[in-house]
Amino acid sequence: MQESPAFVSSDDLYLFNTGQLFRAYLTFGAHVMEVEGEPGVRFVLWAPNARAVFVIGDFCDWSSSDRSRAIELERIGTTGVWVGFGRGPGDGSRYKYELIDAEGERRLKSDPFGFRSELRPNTASVVTSLARYDWQDGEWMQLKRQRLPYDKPMLIYEVHLGAWRMDAPEQFRSYAQLARELVDYVVDMGYTHIEVLPLAEHPLDRSWGYQTTGYYAATSRYGPPEGLMELVDCAHRRGVGVLLDWVSGHFCKDEHGLRLFDGTPLYEPADYRRAEKPLWGTLAFDFGKPQVQSFLISNALFWLDMYHIDGLRVDAVASMIDLNFDKPDSMRTTNRYGGTEDIEALAFLRKLNETVFRYYPESLMMAEDSSSYPAVTSPTYLGGLGFNYKWNMGWMNDMLRYMETDPARRSDRHSLITFSMHYAYSENYVLPLSHDEVVHGKHSMLNKMPGSYEEKFANLRLFYGYWMSHPGKKLLFMGGEFGQFDEWKDDSGLDWSLLRYPLHDSMRSYVRDLNRIYLDRPALWENDHAPAGFEWIDVNNADQCMLSFQRRDKSGHRSVVVACNFSRRSYDVYRIGVSQSGIYRLLLSSDRANYGGSGAPMPERVQATDIPMHGKAYSIEIPVPALTVLMWETEEPASRFSNSYEEV
C-alpha cells in the first residue's frame, strides 16, 4: 500500500513550514489521483509530534490492524509532514486519521484539510473532489474586478442559512433550494450582497458555525459542496455578491478537531493562558506559528478560489488582537514589550490581508472589531491592518441606546445620534444591524423600539431611514426587514407568518422601497468615505429631537436632504435650510399610509425660497409628522409644479 513520498513537492513543504504556502489545500488533505497508473487517494498531514499515522475508514472497517487495507503514512524527513497513497479509498470514501502520539496514546482526528464532512453528529471526513461544478458566473467575476466597492452602493443581507426558512426543526433548506428561494428574495428586496454566517463544518447547530472543526469543509447540513457552489453561482448571475463570515480567532475543543492534534498544542498556543478563550469555551490559534499561518491564509483563499466567495467578514478581531480579551486576572499576560496587544495576531492579520488582496484586489475584507484599535482599514504599508472595511460597532451601540429610549427622554441623549460623525471618516465603515443585536435577551429590532405597537413600527421605520442615509455601507440581519417581533430563534426559522399582518407586510414594503431609493441615489453612497459627501443642516436641535442633514454625490450638484423627527410631536410647518434654490421633490416619507404610518398630508414638491435658515441662503417649508424620516431630492427647475398636499 505504500508509495514513495517523493511526489509531494519539497518546495511546498518548505513554504508551508515558513508560513508562505498560501494554497496549502492543493497539497494537504485527501486528493484523488493516479500514481503509476493506479487510481487512489493521496493523503498529506501535518503532525510533527506523532509517532505513527494511519488513515482508516469505511474501506478498512475503521481499523488499522488490517495493514493490507489501512493506509500507513510515512514521515517526510524533519518536515513534520506525513504522506501516503491508498488504492482502497476513492471519491466519497469516509476516513479519519489515527495518530499515535508521543505517549503512545491513540487519537482519531478528522482531516484539517478535508473538503467535506459527514453530517453531524458523525465526524468523519469524506474524500471529495471540488472540480466537478461547471461555473457560469464569468461575467460577474470579470465585472467585479473592474469595480472597486468604495463609491458603489452596498446593501448586505445577513443570513443564517438554516434558519432563514425552516419547515420543521432540523428540516433545513438545501443549498440548491436556497439558490432559488433566497436569491430571488434578495434580488426582489434590492440587496447587493448576501452575507452568510459561518459555513465551515461545525458539530453544534447552536454555535451558528462560530465553533469550527472542518475549516475546508462546507457544512453538510445543507447538502454537498456543489450545492453551495450553485448558490453562489446563482447569486452572481443575478448580480448579487456573496460574503462569508470567517472565524480565524478560535476553534472548538471537540476531540475530533484541531485541539491537541498530535498530542501536543499544535494549532493552539502552548501557554494555556493564551490558548483558552473562556468566554466561548474555545481555543485561540497560535498566530506566530508559520504552519498555522499557512493553514489559515490558505483557508481564506480557498473560499475565494473554490467557492467564488466575494469577501470575508473576519469574526472577533477585538478578541484576536487583545491578549486579555474577556479573561480573568489569573489568565492575563503581556507581550514582549509589556503591552497587551497580541503582536503575532496583528502581524497575521496584516499578512492575511496583504495576501488576499495580492490575489483578489477586488475582494471585501471586513473586520468585525469592537475595539478602538486605530487604522484597521488603512494599508499595511502605512501601519494599518489592511482591511478595506470595518463594522462600526460604536455607531450601532449608540444608535440602539438612543432608539430604545422613550421619545419623551431623547432630548437628553441627543449626542448619541450625532457623535458618529466625529469619527465617520477615520475608517471605511459598514453600519451593521446584525444577528448579534437580536439574540441573548437583546430583543428583536422591532421590539427594541419603545411605545405602543404602532409606535414601535414608526420608530423602526424612522431608524432605518436615518441608518440608510448616514455615511457608511449597510448590513441588516434577516427578519429585520419585516419587523420580526421575537428574538431570532435559530432552531425554528423566521416568523414569515407575520407577513399576514398589515404592519409587518407594510414594513417589508417600506424596506424594499428604502433599498431602491438608496440604490438609485448616488448621493447616498458615492461619497461614503469623504467628508464632502455629508453636511449637517441642523445638528443641535435636541429640544425638539430633530435632526437634518444633506448627502451629496461626487459632482456636488445632486443632493438628498434628510429630516428626522425622533419625537412624538408633529409639526405642520417646519423650515429647513438648504444650499440650492429650485424645487425639492419628496423621495420618502416613513409616515405614508401604505408603510403603516398615519398618512398625514405631504406635498410631493416644494419650492426653496431665499429665506436664510440654518446658515443656508435658502430654505424649504415642510410638515414633519411625529417619529418620521423625510428625504427630499433636488430637482431641475420646472415651469410649473404643484404645492398641493396629497396623502403619500
On whether the CB atoms of residues 261 and 109 are closer than 8 A, the answer is yes
CA 443 to CA 158: how far, in whole Å?
17
Which residue, of 101, 126, 151, is where some domain finishes? 126
Please compute the mean of the pLDDT values over residues 181-202 and round it to a whole number: 98
Q: Which residue has the higher pLDDT, 380 or 635?
A: 380
pLDDT at 506 over 50: yes
Which residue, of 105, 126, 147, is where some domain finishes? 126
Rg (CA), the chain: 27
pLDDT of residue 2: 42
Model pLDDT for residues 54-108, shown as the tens digit of each residue = 999 999 999 888 777 899 999 999 999 999 999 989 999 999 999 999 999 999 9
Residue 61 in any domain: the answer is yes
Model pLDDT for residues 314-356, shown as the tens digit of each residue = 999 999 999 999 999 999 999 999 999 999 999 999 999 999 9
Burial 224-240 (b: 16+ CB within 10 A, else e): bbbbbbbbbbbbbbeeb
Residue 419 in any domain: the answer is no
pLDDT of residue 64: 84
pTM: 0.95
Model pLDDT for residues 5-46, shown as the tens digit of each residue = 548 999 999 999 999 999 999 999 999 998 888 899 999 999
On whether the CB atoms of residues 190 and 246 are closer than 8 A, the answer is no
pLDDT of residue 562: 98
Burial 488-502 (b: 16+ CB within 10 A, else e): bebeebbbeebeeee
Residue 229 in any domain: the answer is no
Residue 64 in any domain: the answer is yes
Please compute the mean of the pLDDT values over residues 531-543 and round it to a whole number: 97
Model pLDDT for residues 517-530, shown as the tens digit of each residue = 999 999 999 999 99
Share of the chain above pLDDT 90, in %: 92
pLDDT of residue 638: 43
pLDDT at 4 over 70: no
Model pLDDT for residues 487-499, shown as the tens digit of each residue = 999 988 999 999 9
Task: State which residues form the domain around 79.
Answer: 5-126
pLDDT of residue 371: 95
488: amino acid identity, one letter: W
Please compute the mean of the pLDDT values over residues 135-145 and round it to a whole number: 95
pLDDT at 575 over 50: yes
pLDDT of residue 158: 98
Q: Which residues contact 286 (CB under 8 A, 6 or more apart)?
A: 265, 267, 268, 269, 270, 275, 292, 344
Model pLDDT for residues 405-446, shown as the tens digit of each residue = 999 999 999 999 999 999 999 999 999 999 999 999 999 999
Residue 289 in any domain: the answer is no
- Which member of 137, 158, 230, 315 is catalytic? 315
pLDDT of residue 157: 98
pLDDT of residue 69: 86
Mean pLDDT, all residues of the chain: 95
Please compute the mean of the pLDDT values over residues 262-272 and round it to a whole number: 97
Q: 282 phi and psi, to 5 degrees?
A: -125, -175
CATH number for position 627:
2.60.40.1180
Which residue, of 98, 126, 154, is where some domain finishes? 126
Residue 38 in any domain: the answer is yes
Q: Which residues contact 538 (CB under 8 A, 6 or more apart)?
A: 546, 547, 548, 576, 577, 614
CATH number for position 59:
2.60.40.10
CA 457 to CA 476: how far, in whole Å?
16
- Which member of 98, 137, 195, 368 is catalytic? 368
Catalytic residue flag (residue 315): yes
On whether the CB atoms of residues 21 and 40 are closer than 8 A, the answer is no
pLDDT at 172 over 80: yes
Pairing of strands 429-433, 473-477: parallel
On whether the CB atoms of residues 608 and 581 are closer than 8 A, the answer is yes
Please compute the mean of the pLDDT values over residues 189-207 and round it to a whole number: 97
How many domains are there within the chain? 2
The cell numbers describing 418, all together, are 450625532
The cell numbers describing 340, all together, are 497587551
Residue 180 in any domain: the answer is no
pLDDT of residue 636: 64
Residue 227 in any domain: the answer is no
Catalytic residue flag (residue 12): no
CA 536 to CA 551: how far, in whole Å?
9
CA 267 to CA 265: how far, in whole Å?
6
